[in-house]
Amino acid sequence: MNGLNDLNNRVWAELTVGDEASIERTVTSRELYLFAHASGNLNPVHMPHLHVADPDNSMVIAPSMWLGALISSALGNILPGPGTSYRKQTLDFVDRAKLGDVLTIKIKLVEKQASPIVVFSTEVRDASGRLIAAGFAEVNAPLEKKSLAQDALPALLLSEHNHFDQLIVAAQKCAPMPTAVVCPDDSKSLGGALMAMRTQLIIPLLIGSRAAIQQAADEANEDIADIELIDIADHRQAAAKAVELANQHKVRAIMKGNVHSDEILAQVVKKEGGLRGSRRISHVFVLNVPTLSYPLFISDAAINIAPDLATKVDITQNAIDLARACGIEVPNVAILSAVETVNASIPSSMDAAILAKMADRGQIHGGLVDGPLAMDNAIDMGAAQTKHLTSPVAGRAQVLIVPNLEAGNMLAKQLTFISHAQPAGLVLGAKIPVMLTSRADSAEARMASCALAQLYDAYCQNGQSVLTHERTR
């Protein structure tokens, strides 16, 4: 028995010249990425994430053969429908479909030949009626009745939300931030800094071995002649110079290049001449998770190994401030433990309960804080309801405060390397933000970290997120 949403075909004998059908499809980032993965076509003109500075999407065009695939969809799903097979397709591409265009794909039977051959005229137009592609499809129509359930296709996980694009666009509303880039002597770290410069997020000041940085630029076919470069070969001295420039207010952020994190942090946290602020320094991962409709903040997974309660207060406050800087006005903060009940034998559950009560008393401010919560009922509403949790945070947490570095590091890397989340990150609690990117991070991840630094700096200066300000103007 056929369901209401099944796809039903029309066999050759039932077809008549003049029969027609149409479908509508919007050119979205998701569609373009799906086609890129399926076809292997990585042409940059089809990649939205490479054109985040393009306000009207005019630079991102749909692949011409994706339009052909839409015609195939109309033939295979509607007319003649399931069982149809191609013999021939001609197409004239008279214009280009751009990201955001709403397309109508129309097919019309113009010739019925000997069984099972039929010929359709095919065309693709945008919402204004502009013709984009036209041609003819010759197909074998089905000879037996068939139907197909529309949900028969196996599920495919693809990121439907690119929160980093939104953050980058928001950060571009601020003036580019003078940034000391420490030892960018490989293609990824240098490429990330230059991409952020071209996107008008930072004004890079390169510090490191001139010869090594120039070699990296030459290998990447980049021209850095007009970028200020301070020639210091020693990594420790290069990091010390970056901190010195920050104290002199010549830069407003520091970006890690091809240098070990400890070498930068040692200079940031030193008592004399460092960049210590009033809080403990902590790191916040910001993750673009494919299955979440919001960015996920995780702290601390990089600096504080086994934080005590006082340190966790600062870790939590730092993470709340960054989430607010990214436009989440009152972030939901889950203090994680292995369980969602207070257990004297599990110290992290005790700390979580204390932190939640401190937030109730205003000692931690700006967010809704609850704990202890286990990972499942912090993120998943179904798990929270199953365990009958009454909490404003359970099932909807946007910020996760982990018990220790090991738990946080494993969680962040699991999301990155198994769940395909995109990571960015920032060190907070110092006088200026520090982009402590991993050497494995892509240039795009480094650019996202620059956007975080820009947004956080603006938040610290104005007491309000750039995104919140845009929404309330």
For position 437, what pLDDT does the model report?
Answer: 79
DSSP 85: E
pLDDT digits (tens, 9 = 90+) for 153-162: 665 555 555 7
DSSP 278: S
For position 446, what pLDDT does the model report?
Answer: 80
Task: Answer yes or no: pTM beyond 0.75.
Answer: no
Q: Is the pLDDT of residue 459 over 80?
A: yes
pLDDT digits (tens, 9 = 90+) for 371-385: 999 999 999 988 888
For position 48, what pLDDT does the model report?
Answer: 79
| Closest to 188 in 3D by CA, of 440, 427, 422 | 440
Q: Which residues contact 271 (CB under 8 A, 6 or more apart)?
A: none
Q: Report yes or no: 223 and 264 within 8 Å, Cβ to Cβ.
A: no
pLDDT digits (tens, 9 = 90+) for 213-250: 999 999 889 999 999 999 999 999 999 999 999 999 99
Average pLDDT over residues 190-194: 89
Residue ranges, CATH 3.10.129.10, the chain: 7-148
Residue ranges, CATH 3.40.718.10, the chain: 163-331+398-472
Q: How far is CA 380 from CA 111, 157, 332, 403, in A?
A: 55, 17, 13, 19
Residue-wise DSSP of 205-265: EEEE-HHHHHHHHHHTT---TTS-EEE--SHHHHHHHHHHHHHTTS-SEEEE-SS-HHHHH
Q: Which residue has the higher pLDDT, 149 or 463?
A: 463
Architecture of the CATH domain 7-148: Roll (3.10)
pLDDT digits (tens, 9 = 90+) for 246-285: 999 999 999 999 999 899 999 999 988 999 988 999 999 9
Structure tokens at 237: 């001295």
When the pLDDT of each residue in the chain is averaged and rounded to a whole number, the result is 89
Average pLDDT over residues 131-142: 96
**CA 328/CA 167 separation, integer angstroms:** 12
**CA 221/CA 126 separation, integer angstroms:** 39
Task: Give the fold, CATH level 3, of 163-331+398-472.
Answer: Isopropylmalate Dehydrogenase (3.40.718)
pLDDT digits (tens, 9 = 90+) for 14-63: 999 999 999 999 998 888 888 888 898 889 888 876 765 555 556 889 99
